Chains A and B, each alone.
Chain A
Amino acid sequence: MNQDKKDFKPKVIAFACHWCGVGKNEINAVEDFPDFKLIKLMCSGRINTALILKAFEKGADGVIAFGCPEGKCHYNFGSSNAAKEYKTAKSLIELLGIEPERLRLELNFFTENGKLDKVINEFVQGIKKVGPSPLRTLIEIEDK
């Protein structure tokens, strides 16, 4: 397990809202974090509990969602919807035995240079600390 942790490359799924500025910084961020997979959605409101759980089921070590601050959503109610779904998902994954650090919702504007990098870095470091997802190891055992 210790060896695993050393060269552990976390698989991180990021759901990104089109309007919060992740789009502008994405190329920079993705080149620096090759294990960081961005799935662009039009609004963070599209995210739902099922999607988040699906990502963990498929073997993601962490899921981070980006969206505009609440009340500043391009479609008015998208961000609050995301926050609600996030809350449900968080309590559900805890029940399933997945560490709560693996899920994060970041409702903010990312137009500032370096801000996105900082958030991603912090998140990836946090996941590196907790190690591979318990579900991922399960999948690997099944594969064998």
Chain B
Amino acid sequence: MYRLQTTLEKERIRLRFPRLSPDVHTITRIESSACRVACPAGVQVKAYIGLIVAGKFQEALDLIKKDNPLPGICGRVCTHPCESECNRRKVDEAVAICALKRFVADWELKKEFKKAEPIKRTREEKIAVVGSGPAGLTCANDLIRKGYGITIFEKLPYAGGMLTACIPPYRLPRDIINKEIEDIMDLGVEIKTSTRVGKDISFDDLMRQGYKAFFVAIGAHHGLKLKVPGEDEYEGFIDCVEFLERTNSGDHKKPGRKVIIIGGGNSAIDASRTALRLGCDEVYIVYRRSRKEMPANVSEIEEAEKEGVKIRYLSAPVRILGKNGRVTGMECIKMRLGEPDASGRRRPVPLEGSEFIIEADTIIPAISQKPDITFLPKDHEFKLTKWDTFEVDPVTFATNISGFFAGGDAVSGPSTVIDAITHGHFAAQAIDRYLSHKDLKKRIAPPAEVREWGFRLEIEGEKPIERNPIPKLSIDRRLDSWDEVDLCFTEEQAIAEAKRCLRCGPCIECQECVSGCSRRLVMLSFPHKVTQEIGRVPEFILRVPSDPQKLPYDERSEEVVISWRDEEEKENELNLKLEPITCFVDQDMCRGCGKCEKVCEYKAVTLKPIKDGFIVSEVDEAICKGCGTCVAVCTTGAIKARHFTDKRIELMLESCLDHEQD
């Protein structure tokens, strides 16, 4: 899985003779763990779980924040695709990754933490982010760290987008959202709430104010219509998003006595549990497929049912019933599951003659949403799909208009928080490249694919350990308050749960070795290409002249791929002395004063006792960089360096300027 190598491999792109400069050793990871590959944002799941086991909660949190600036939010509402891929499932149940992430985020809240310092502005360009949801916040967070000036414009009077507007506080307490938004604002991001771009301030105005790039992450707030007869005739319809927005901003009015919610996503469940908390007598969810196909989180469905939501699976609305202009009920029809459709889920087929009626005075459709694009001027030139989402490049998230990028639900339609975070990351990279006048697509990593694993995970003999259940608020205390239902692990529970991780592969990628090494000898790189390993150092390309005696190389010279050992033979053959530039000790002359050991920046020199009580110094040539400091301090002249001779530099020059290589 992991191998030690030198940075020579990277250097070969420009050095013809990489052996001339031995460099830092790196540990290169070849494959990722399944949980990290499954995460759209590529959060280093295995690493932070390993750090929790070790009790290093701060380090774990810092590591999460590298890929996910909203750990507390994601720890509560993420759909955790990582848990579905967890290898522990082959033994018993997946590790409670999401709850562990929440644990470290909450752990920080409990202790005193330092506020982040504002990032120093190094770039002149200003960037406007439209929408302060997870996509916008992530993009702003990434770009402010690159030194740009960022302003987020938000239509609503509060920041957070769907997180604040639609997710009820019993699932995601407002102080958590505010804390994570404040963390990002502390870095220097400015958030202008109650400012609707397109209405209060136009794109042209912003361009005149000096904004060079735009990230449109407006989300999808516009609920879709049911398209059944009677929908527009009667009063008593509230759109799901509108209902949640109204409730979350403090209007705790009962929508009705009997409520029907149509749909099977997380918003439908949120609406149903919110309705119960508002005091509705009966709350139904009508979903046309079975429970297995329901897109909402399983634990959410379970909790909703426990609280008293009645879910009618395999049912679809046919007609709205009403009297005197008000809704009185809904006629539904039973469905059965047919062949799988394009999304892979089985298509529901109506069963003739199975109609039934549910009485209700309020109907909340929660079937899907689309972006509200009324903020755009009528003659806008954006390319939109038929669902009103922005058409963007899948890698760079650039729209058809140069300088405008879009992401989040505004591109994907209603989706998850972690997807929006991923969009934010990619768009931030692309915006940075756009403003630096670089090729947009180059060097942006393609989305990770689940690959075949190169090693066999030993699960036989692994004892099942029961998954620590996530603590919950008792049912009788839930319905008359907005207190958070899911509770946090205790420290002991968290460590016990983290210990269930099978640690697929030996290294957990926590990068503690990198920060722990004071001499910066360890580096971790994440290549996307896997190269073959040959000998002590990776193979590289050396131009070998066809006539060894004749220098410089002529046009008949050929490129051969040779390994470290082959190269030595070749060098002898060619009479080219291409040694690494390192220092070496003449141990007969060394008197063991230890000066060289003290001055070595890389800890390459050590003192070692030899027989008769003498001490001499020794240079580890794998670490030595040939800086020559030890040579300068050596009083006896025992340390010598294999230096950059004129001949050698000439050779390097020649290989760099070789006309044949074009």
Contacts and interface: CB of A to CB of B under 8 A. Distances in A.
B657 A41 contact: no
Interface in A6-22: 9, 11, 13, 18
Given A27-B10, A30-B14, A42-B628, A60 B657 contact: yes
A39 B653 contact: yes
A122 interface: no
A121 B654 CA distance: 23
A130 to B, nearest CB: 18
B122 interface: yes
Interface residues of B, number: 30
Nearest to A31: B443
B657 A42 contact: no
Contacts of B629: 74
A121 to B, nearest CB: 9
Contacts of B632: 75
Contacts of B628: 42, 75
A5 interface: no
A93 to B, nearest CB: 16
A41 B146 CA distance: 30
A51 B438 contact: no
Secondary structure call for the B interface:
loop
B644 interface: yes
A90 to B, nearest CB: 19
Contact of B13 (A9, A31, A50, A112): A31
A38 B10 CA distance: 13
B627 interface: yes
Contacts of A74: 627, 629
A113 B147 contact: yes
Interface string B617-656: 0000000011111001000000000001010011011101
B657 A39 contact: no
Contact of B653 (A13, A114, A140): A13
A32 B438 contact: yes
Contacts of A42: 581, 625-628, 644
A49 B147 CA distance: 39
A58 B658 CA distance: 8
B306 interface: no
A16 B581 CA distance: 15
A54 interface: yes
A84 interface: no
A105 B632 CA distance: 26
Contacts of A46: 644, 649
Contacts of A9: 662
A59 to B, nearest CB: 5
B378 interface: no
A18 to B, nearest CB: 7
B654 A51 contact: no
Contacts of A37: 14, 656-657
A125 B120 CA distance: 28
A54 B653 contact: yes
Given A40-B15, A55-B657, A113-B122, 14 more contacts: A30-B13, A38-B14, A38-B15, A39-B15, A42-B625, A51-B653, A55-B653, A58-B653, A74-B629, A75-B628, A112-B122, A114-B436, A117-B436, A143-B659
Interface of A: 9, 11, 13, 18, 27, 30-32, 36-42, 46, 50-51, 54-55, 58-60, 74-75, 112-114, 117, 139-140, 143
Interface of B: 10, 13-15, 21, 122-123, 146-147, 436, 438, 443, 581, 625-629, 632, 644, 646, 649-650, 652-654, 656-657, 659, 662
8 contacts: A18-B625, A27-B10, A31-B443, A38-B15, A39-B649, A60-B653, A139-B659, A143-B659
Those 4 A-B pairs whose CB atoms lie nearest each other, nearest first: A37-B656, A58-B657, A59-B657, A30-B14
